[in-house]
Amino acid sequence: MPGKVSPLKDLRGFAEKDIPALQQQYGKNVFYYEKPRHLYQAFVDVVREPMFLLLLLACVIYFMLGQLAEGFMMLVAICMVATISLYQEIRSTKALEALKQFTQPMVTVIRDGIEKYIQSQDLVPGDIIKIEEGNKVPADATIVQANDLTVNESIITGESLPVDKNEKTENPVVYQGTTINSGQCYARVTATGNNTALGKLGKTVTAITVPKTLLQQQVNKFVRQLAIFGISAFLVIWAINFIKTGLWVESLLFALTLAMAAVPEEIPVALSSFMALGAWQMSKLGIISRQPQIIENLGSVNVICLDKTGTITENQMTVKAIYDFEKDILTEAGSQWTNSQVLQYALLASEQNPFDAMEKAIKEVHEQFIQHAHWDQLTQVYEYPLQGRPPMMTHIYSKSGYYLAAAKGAPERIVGVCDLTDQQREKIMQLATGEAAKGYRVIGVAGAIHKEKTFPATQDEFNWQFEGLLCLYDPPRHNIDQVIRQFYDAHIDVKLLTGDYAGTAANICRQTGIKGYIKYVTGDQVLLMKEEELKKAVEEVSLFVRMFPEAKLQVINALKSNGHIVAMTGDGVNDAPALKSSDIGIALGKKGTEMAKQAADLIITDDDLGKVVEAIRQGRKIFSNLKKAIRYIISIHIPIILTASVPLLLGWKYPNIFTPIHIIFLELIMGPTCSIFFEREPVEENIMILPPRERSFSLFEQDELLISIVQGLMITIGVLWLYHFSMTNGASFYHTRTLVFTTLVISNIFLTFTNRSFTQNLTKTIRYKNRLAPWIVLISVLFLVVINFVPAIQSIFGLSAITFTNLLLCTGIAFVAVIWFEVYKTNLYKPEQPILRKRR
């Protein structure tokens, strides 16, 4: 990626043409504690699946009974099942691998004399890297040049206090996994991957152990319950058949038929593939999910906490007004700013190579108006980093015989440490409040002369003289008001958490449409509140001002304690704790610090807050489609299970209508329908005007599960009626089987299409764009044609020829057994009370 020319003239770094050979020599800058997963391992996983083992057992039994055609057909089925399972595994794995590429940390490197932005995994020893405040150090490196550098090395040393470092210190090395606390540096990489100090300690900062989500727990529990049912039914059917026939092998075969019908192997596959492929689809929209499981919570978000600067504003500040205390005048840009001492002190209190939007604005206006910038030649000798509540920062410069101190920070903090009268303080604060109400970010500036050789323990102790105020403006993002409106339309409450003045924040709220900004709470008030008091406040207040990391964290935790699913946006180092604590941490990809991105769950690559709305839409869509898939599986498994068991239990003339061959080919239709067709379904029109589901929401709510069960029972009634009717009217066993099996296949087609929506009927869902829809119909019809009209296949399935009249009869019964749900959706269900979710 092209970049700017390196400021280090004597260090050009490697030539790009040499990098491939170096990467071949040193390998990728990643930890290798687990061997890469190979295709054969995926195949082993497939072979260990219960359905595969049941199929294998059925195949062996067919060969034992001398039924070679059926045995070879089962072998074909086994190959098809394995192929489909491997295909789904490979799709999911590729999606996850692609996500890993997207979530790789980025780093600035100098190559060919140009600063470039590359993935940290592509670093090699000898590379020159630039790292700054908020970055995680991507590899062990020796400092070449440092500016106000402090490093948090707790992951290596266990020491929580930042360490001052530069090229002249005793140990001028930064270690992989440590964090740049302040300042910046250029450093030469000395070790990568497992050869770093962190690698030798056996630690990996990128490995994340993700616990099972609520949805995964629910699905696993449901599958276990069905598995227990399947085993019990298997034993019962085996015993009954053996008692009646005395043939244990044949009885085992019929018992296997029911066991295969009861095993819901499609559900876990659907869950994993929906999450992985959903995350991949989102990544193509510029929404990177660090863990696919987090998508489960996206559809549940009901509170979003927004940072102001860089999130709802452009993070492109300009200086709009300056108050000069000595002259006692407030002026906008003009000749009065020429050689302004306020501007000069503000620049001295900023980083020499600023990366903060505010400091960039100060430097820009300084270059424009300061004609004799002789202070630029001063040598900085010490720094007090941004700290305190509210914060300020100080830089110390050496002069002939004394030191010059320059500070900037929150007006109330600066005013508090300066030598002023109460009347002067009140006047300045009134002026600051008035400017903040215009939407400006107001900072105070102070200077001091220090003649002693030692510096005070804290920056407050200098003999500060107040210089003035800077008023900066950061405009709201384009169309941000529409994004905020979309949040409210989706029943998502919006909270603004900012370090700015109440007046500044209220002005932004007014411009962007954030509600409830009349009342506000400060960070100090948050920390003083008792737990119950804070839990009440976060429900009533939307604006939180003068916030700092601890206060943001308290607000997030209080919202979560109230049962909310909380999303938090942020881009700075100080946002990392709140991003980590929230249910969905959302970092900005362009302007966000690496620490914020590593702490977040989602990364918005282009910093567009509108992508958060899209992420929530995708989260709701994925959960909705997953529910459709699982409810479809429940509904279609019921008639298969009951058709395989009820006739035997009731002592019908033809007790065992199905064999494993029939069940497995039904599964071959249902599996891809569940995990591929429903995953491709589009977003429903009303999905973003529905309230989000609650934290305790179950995938299988009673009313929804009841409808799925009723769907299955209605198909069962139709199938068993036809079964009994054909049997009692003298039809042969094979003719009866043909009618029953054909009706089930056609019912499956109708069920697939009626379950495309729980609220909209077929007149609308038929217009849904899913390119797999015609394929579902085509494959099902071809399957029916082949098994009914190709003699060899017809013989293996044990079917007889079917007449057109009988085909119409099967179609009519399947239609009636399924279409009632369309009538139900049309006449009995109100759009404002959709079956999609249930409020507790």
Q: What is the pLDDT of residue 450?
A: 93
CA distances from 573 to 465, 523, 579 (A): 30, 17, 10
Domain with CATH 1.20.1110.10 in the chain: 277-284+615-827
- Predicted confidence band of residue 47 (pLDDT cuts 50, 70, 90): low
Q: Is the peptide bond before 390 cis (omega within 30 degrees of 0)?
A: yes
Pick the CATH number of 318-473 from 3.30.450.190, 3.30.750.24, 3.40.1110.10, 3.40.50.300: 3.40.1110.10
- Predicted confidence band of residue 683 (pLDDT cuts 50, 70, 90): confident
Query: What CATH class is the domain 287-313+477-605?
Result: alpha beta
Indicate the helix (H) or strand (E) that contains 291.
none
Q: In this structure, which topology does domain 277-284+615-827 adopt according to CATH? A: Calcium-transporting ATPase, transmembrane domain (1.20.1110)
User: Could you tell me if 527 and 554 are in contact, meaning their C-beta atoms sit under 8 angstroms apart?
Assistant: yes
What span, in angstroms and rounded, lies between the C-alpha atoms of 171 and 185? 14
Pairing of strands 114-119, 106-111: antiparallel
Lookup: tokens for 386: 């941004």
Helix/strand/coil for 15 = coil
pLDDT tens digits, one per residue of 83-126: 766 665 666 566 555 545 555 677 889 998 888 888 888 999 99
**Distance of alpha carbon 688 from its chain centroid, rounded?**
18
Residue environment code for 63-89, b if the CB has 16+ CB neighbours within 10 A, otherwise e: eeeebeebbebbeebbebbbebbeebb
pLDDT tens digits, one per residue of 196-240: 887 776 544 344 344 566 666 777 777 777 667 767 777 787 788
Residues 6+ apart with CB under 8 A from 38: none
Residue 124: CA atoms inside 13 Å, Cβ hemisphere, count? Answer: 15
What span, in angstroms and rounded, lies between the C-alpha atoms of 461 and 466? 14
Domain with CATH 2.70.150.10 in the chain: 1-205
What span, in angstroms and rounded, lies between the C-alpha atoms of 446 and 418? 8
Nearest to 152 by CA among 99, 211, 205, 194: 205
Nearest to 311 by CA among 439, 477, 472: 477
Q: What is the pLDDT of residue 838?
A: 37
Helix/strand/coil for 518 = coil
Residue the block writes with tokens 């039924």: 67
User: Could you tell me if 350 and 182 are in contact, meaning their C-beta atoms sit under 8 angstroms apart?
Assistant: no
- pTM of the model as a whole: 0.72
pLDDT tens digits, one per residue of 769-781: 888 888 888 888 8
Q: What is the pLDDT of residue 104?
A: 61
pLDDT at 712 over 90: yes
**Distance of alpha carbon 193 from its chain centroid, rounded?**
26
Query: What CATH class is the domain 1-205?
Result: mainly beta
Domain with CATH 3.40.1110.10 in the chain: 318-473
